[in-house]
């Protein structure tokens, strides 16, 4: 009886301590917007001081970054938005990481392309005037500082800044999913579900560059687009269910996850692989929680069958950006750009992306301010 009382009392004390800790941590959760002072050498950047939808994004003046000895200062000419940028909504599960009450990191964007304005003294691979593209946090701004040995490479001369800015996150997701997780091989039959979006339009072209026979799944309005980027076959999901045909595939690159484990297994060859890369277009839509649960179930269930169901998070690397630059240089991959917005219109750009029906990439052009 005494032990029971001690245990009950201890549990209450722990719960109370946790509640107090949470309350203090919640109210102490601040960000740079609360401490903002006038910038000495200002540049424009997109900030989100609060959690919320695209309407919370603001163009603000912040301090222009100064490169250290190992960095480049890049004048951003174009950037692009990704589903990842919608974490501005502050999903509850991620808040312990991102900031409980307010986002710790108020800057937005990853993909950029631009011109090198200055280099640190240890940088030998780049020089001022070089046109580059790559990925780094806070890319939705007039300038970014990037470490020369990270994910930044020279832009192919035949690509515009807008095209190059469309590449990093989406194309690397497609490349790593098909090559590293899907073990893609020439001659294979590959199906891309979600072929018309930011990642899908790269996946179709990259799969073709590996010498495979590609089937793209999209809706009626995107059939011509998906065919035009090289798909050998196109399935209109509004008219036909791709899991109910007689076709068998060696690799399914699935960006939607709207079919069950057994439905997809039925159309995979015995040693086939299903790469579960996403759960549909950007934003949170009806049925996504079920899709997420379905993907978890498929991951576990596939341990007991010959086909593999794998998931992953893409990583930006210089090596893979170099491969993509070569594919663009040779004309094997041409970024598909749906809409272009100005930096001051990022809220509208992200709002459009969030609808989940982008056709290729949504790109931001950064107006040139001649003051440096």
Ligand X SMILES: NC(=O)c1ccc[n+]([C@@H]2O[C@H](COP(=O)([O-])OP(=O)(O)OC[C@H]3O[C@@H](n4cnc5c(N)ncnc54)[C@H](OP(=O)(O)O)[C@@H]3O)[C@@H](O)[C@H]2O)c1
Nearer to ligand X, 173 or 302 (CB): 173
Distances (CA, A) of 368 to 4, 100, 203, 286: 70, 36, 32, 40
Strands 131-135 and 111-119: antiparallel
Minimum CB distance to ligand X, residue 280 (Å) = 5
78 near ligand X, judged by CB under 6 A: no
Judged by DSSP in three states, 52 sits in coil
Q: Let me know: does 264 contact 232? Beta carbons within 8 Å.
A: no
Nearer to ligand X, 106 or 193 (CB): 193
Nearer to ligand X, 281 or 294 (CB): 281
Which stretch of DSSP H or E encloses residue 48?
A: none
269 near ligand X, judged by CB under 6 A: no
Nearer to ligand X, 67 or 294 (CB): 294
* Site size toward ligand X, by CB under 6 A: 34
Applying the rule CB under 6 A, the residues between 214 and 243 that interact with ligand X are: 217-219, 222, 237
279 near ligand X, judged by CB under 6 A: yes
Minimum CB distance to ligand X, residue 145 (Å) = 24
Taking the C-alpha atoms of residue 78 and residue 165, their distance in angstroms, rounded to an integer, is 6
198 near ligand X, judged by CB under 6 A: yes
Applying the rule CB under 6 A, the residues between 90 and 129 that interact with ligand X are: none
Structure tokens at 264: 């997809």
302 near ligand X, judged by CB under 6 A: no
Q: Is the dihedral of CA 172, 174, 175, 176 positive or negative?
A: positive
Taking the C-alpha atoms of residue 11 and residue 95, their distance in angstroms, rounded to an integer, is 25
Minimum CB distance to ligand X, residue 20 (Å) = 36
Query: Angle at the Cα of 274 (from 269 to 280), degrees rounded to 5?
Result: 135
Candidates 313, 319, 331, 368; binder of ligand X (CB under 6 A) is: 313
Candidates 79, 267, 359, 366; binder of ligand X (CB under 6 A) is: 359
Q: Let me know: does 43 contact 60? Beta carbons within 8 Å.
A: no
Per the DSSP assignment, residues forming a β-bridge with 189 are 213
**Contact residues for ligand X (CB under 6 A)?**
82-83, 169-170, 173, 193-194, 196-200, 217-219, 222, 237, 255-256, 258, 277-282, 312-314, 353, 356-359
């Amino acid at each position: 009886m005494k032990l029971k009382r001690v245990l009950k009392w201890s549990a209450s004390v722990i719960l109370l301590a946790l509640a107090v800790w949470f309350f203090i941590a919640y109210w102490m959760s601040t960000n740079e917007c609360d401490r903002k002072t006038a910038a000495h050498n200002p540049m424009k950047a997109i900030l989100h001081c609060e959690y919320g939808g695209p309407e919370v994004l603001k163009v603000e003046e912040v301090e222009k970054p100064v490169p250290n000895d190992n960095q480049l200062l890049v004048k951003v000419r174009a950037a692009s938005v990704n589903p990842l940028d919608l974490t501005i909504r502050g999903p509850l599960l991620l808040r312990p990481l991102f900031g409980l009450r307010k986002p710790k990191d108020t800057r937005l964007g990853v993909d950029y392309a631009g011109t090198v304005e200055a280099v640190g003294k240890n940088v030998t691979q780049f020089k001022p005037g070089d046109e580059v593209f790559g990925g780094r946090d806070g890319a939705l701004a007039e300038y970014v500082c990037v470490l020369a040995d990270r994910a930044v490479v020279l832009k192919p001369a035949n690509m515009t800044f807008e095209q190059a800015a469309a590449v990093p996150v989406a194309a690397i997701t497609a490349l790593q999913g098909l090559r590293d997780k899907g073990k893609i091989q020439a001659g294979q039959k590959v199906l891309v579900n979600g072929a018309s979006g930011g990642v899908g339009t790269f996946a179709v072209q990259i799969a073709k560059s590996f010498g495979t026979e590609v089937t793209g799944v999209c809706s009626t309005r995107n059939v011509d687009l998906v065919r035009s980027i090289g798909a050998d076959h196109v399935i209109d999901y509004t008219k036909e269910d791709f899991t109910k045909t007689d076709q068998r595939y060696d690799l399914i690159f699935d960006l939607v996850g709207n079919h069950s484990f057994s439905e997809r297994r039925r159309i995979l060859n015995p040693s086939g692989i299903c790469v579960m890369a996403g759960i549909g277009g950007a934003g949170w839509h009806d049925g996504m929680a079920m899709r997420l649960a379905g993907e978890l179930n498929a991951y576990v269930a596939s341990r007991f069958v010959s086909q593999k169901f794998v998931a992953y998070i893409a990583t930006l690397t210089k090596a893979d950006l170099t491969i993509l630059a070569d594919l663009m240089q040779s004309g094997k991959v041409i970024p598909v750009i749906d809409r272009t917005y100005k930096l001051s219109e990022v809220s509208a750009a992200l709002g459009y992306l969030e609808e989940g029906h982008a056709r290729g990439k949504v790109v931001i052009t950064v107006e040139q301010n001649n003051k440096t």
